Structure 1
Amino acid sequence: MIQVETAIERPWPAGRWDAIAERAVRAAIEASAHGDIATMVTIVEVSVRYTSDDEVRLLNSSYRQKDKPTNVLSFPMVQPDLLDAINNGDDDGETLLGDIVLAHGVCAREAKDKHASVEDHATHLIVHGTLHLLGYDHEQGEAEAEAMEEIERVALATLGIDDPYAVREG
Structure 2
Amino acid sequence: MLQWGLIPSFSADDKLASKIINARSETITLKRSFRQLLVRKRVIIPADGFIEWRTDEEKKKTPLRILMRDERIFSLAGLYDTWENENGEKVSTCTIITTTPNEFVKSIHDRMPVILHPDKELDWLDRDITDQSYLTSLLVPYDANEMKSYQISNMIGNVKNDHAECIAPLL
**TM-score higher than 0.5 here?**
no
TM-score between both structures, scaled by the size of structure 1: 0.28
Higher helix share: 1
Larger radius of gyration: 2
Higher strand share: 2
